[in-house]
Amino acid sequence: MCAQSVFTFENRQYLEGKHRQPYCLGGNTTASNVRILCGRHNRLLYGELQEQSLV
């Protein structure tokens, strides 16, 4: 479940994996560096990273 929304397992087609520490900034590709977000919150988070010039 996306911790930020009401999506549940039944709506899993709307969920996306996201690196906690971006891969382009040295984040690894392990399960512990991934969080599951809905598409909306994934895009919001990515937008925040862009504003901070982290991506």
pLDDT recorded at residue 54: 55
Residue 14 to residue 24: CA distance in whole angstroms: 24
pLDDT at position 9 over 80: no
Distance, first Cα to last Cα, the chain: 25
Q: Which of 40, 49, 32, 31 is nearest to 11 (CA)?
A: 40
Residue 1 to residue 52: CA distance in whole angstroms: 26
Q: Which of 8, 46, 30 is nearest to 54 (CA)?
A: 46
pTM of the model: 0.57
Calculate mean pLDDT across residues 15-32: 88
Q: pLDDT: is 7 or 12 the higher one?
A: 12
